[in-house]
Amino acid sequence: MDSHIANLPACHFDDLPNELKTEIILYLENPSKLAKCSHNWYNIVNAPVTKSKWLIQRYGTTHALFHGIRIGNPFINLQVVNCLLAQHAHLSRYFIQRLMTGFERFESPRVVDLPQEVYTRFLQEGNEKFGRENIPDPCDDMEAFYYLTGGPQPISQARQTILDHLDEIKMLIEIYHLVPFPIKPKLPYEFFYETRYDSGRQMQAVSRAIFLCPALIGCWQRIGYEHITDDTNEYVIQGAMLMLYPCPPPDSWVEPTLDQVVQTLVHLRQLGFRLSAVLFVDIILYIEQYIISPIGVTLLSAYTTFCGYAEEDVINNFLEILLSPSRELRTVILLDLIISRIKPPHEKIVELFENYRIVNPIRIYLDNPHQLPMDWTFTKYTPAVYRYLLVKLGVDSIVARYLMKELSSVRVAILLLFSSTKVAETLSNANRWNDALNSFDEYYRMGVAFDPIVPLFGP
């Protein structure tokens, strides 16, 4: 099928109806490559109506204007803004306030990469929507929200502060259409002048207020912010759990019961929030840094009860999450709890190692030993994990031997890298190489057997 499509003449793709071309564009992460196919594709990709639809399809009406400004010139222009506003893209007074702050602070067009006519259009729309006299404000709407919801106060006082200022908070949301800016992705992106991606402070303030006063969810939904529970999901659940398990805990703290934890999770689900296993593992790992008592047992039972899954399935799921190479475990308390409940755990752990392919393919070492990827010189886990599994399961276990195979391949990759090229050694890389070599030395000193990683005879 794929080869048949690949052999189709290019004109077939170019002859698609314009409506279908537009639909294709809307589902692409970066449509600019399609613009190079032909003049027709170029015109459709760069049409203001296509750009506006793409922004709304990708980011929703709530954050379409934010991302349009973030992408900047030449993507954003007056025609695109008009199309976005015609499609009811969300415009808040806070958005206008931050936009004005950016233009007032930066006068150079090289810094403020936004056409003047676009800026003027936003001000015009803001003045019509909120009233010219209501746009300037000594503090922006998000800062006002933070204080009106008791942001600087402890939880015990913040709930009453919200009730005392509920009318003012509702006015910020329902009249001035306040919504938090998107959370900054893990990858680096451009800044939006002073209106940058939210580093988490805004979302934390909003999430805290939502947990203390769930009625605010309805306020945002009434102004079209349908994804408020999705955008705040992680923060609300984390905040709720940290109210049960404050970090660090005060002297007066009493550990919550299983029923209290389950009731909290059920309440969050009723509000529309979703608890995933990955998020719950993250929460447990964070809390374990501050609380010495074995909270994992209670939280594991709470998650099992809340989800209605068999404990064996939850245990296996948590183990899969904990042994993912993308997770850097600094403590092994939860890992020990999970492994202790699997009888025997060896085969399950090795199965996960194989699924995650923690041992680099030996064939590449033989075919092209001097052009190995830099990632191959790093171990998949932290030293704490290697040490724990060695001590827990023993030097003769299949787990220790499998990890020795990985450590050996990493050690070989490091030696090949330094013997073939002049390496620019950063502090981060040096620390990771030292960790890898130290883990190898520890396994070697403990007498973990080597499995052959290179064939002795033949191919």
* Bigger pLDDT: 132 vs 424: 132
For residue 64, being part of any structural domain is answered with: no
For residue 9, being part of any structural domain is answered with: no
DSSP string, 54-75: HHHHHHHHHHHHHHHHHH-TTT
Closest CA to 179 of 224, 237, 241, 119: 224
For residue 423, being part of any structural domain is answered with: yes
- Total domain count for the chain? 1
Q: What is the pLDDT of residue 162?
A: 96
Chain segment 18-37, per-residue pLDDT in tens: 899 999 999 999 898 888 88
Give the mean model confidence (pLDDT) for residues 3-21: 67
For residue 402, being part of any structural domain is answered with: yes
Chain segment 139-198, per-residue pLDDT in tens: 789 999 999 999 999 888 999 999 999 999 999 999 999 999 988 764 433 333 334 456
Give the mean model confidence (pLDDT) for residues 6-29: 78
Structure tokens that stand for 458 in this block:
């033949």
SS3 182: coil
Q: What is the pLDDT of residue 103?
A: 64
What's phi and psi for 198, nearest 5 deg? -70, 125
Contact 387, 438 (CB under 8 A): no
Residue 210 banded pLDDT, cuts 50, 70, 90: very high
For residue 337, being part of any structural domain is answered with: no
Q: What is the pLDDT of residue 32?
A: 87
Q: Nearest 5 degrees, angle CA 36-CA 38-CA 44?
A: 85
Given a cut of 60, whether residue 216 has pLDDT beyond it is yes
For residue 399, being part of any structural domain is answered with: yes
Contact 181, 195 (CB under 8 A): yes
For residue 319, being part of any structural domain is answered with: no
Chain segment 66-92, per-residue pLDDT in tens: 999 988 888 999 999 999 999 999 999
Q: What is the pLDDT of residue 26?
A: 93
Q: What is the pLDDT of residue 188?
A: 36
| Domain with 415 in it | 360-445
Chain segment 375-392, per-residue pLDDT in tens: 888 999 999 999 999 999
Percent of the chain's residues with pLDDT above 70: 85
Q: Is 215 exposed, middle or buried (0-12, 13-18, 19+ CB in 10 A)?
A: exposed
Instruction: Please state the separation of Cα 110 from the chain's center in Å.
Output: 31
Contacts 24+ apart (CB under 8 A), 197-204: 197/70, 200/235, 202/142, 203/231, 203/232, 203/235, 204/235, 204/239
Given a cut of 70, whether residue 454 has pLDDT beyond it is no
* Bigger pLDDT: 290 vs 393: 393
For residue 429, being part of any structural domain is answered with: yes
Given a cut of 50, whether residue 456 has pLDDT beyond it is no
pTM of this prediction? 0.81
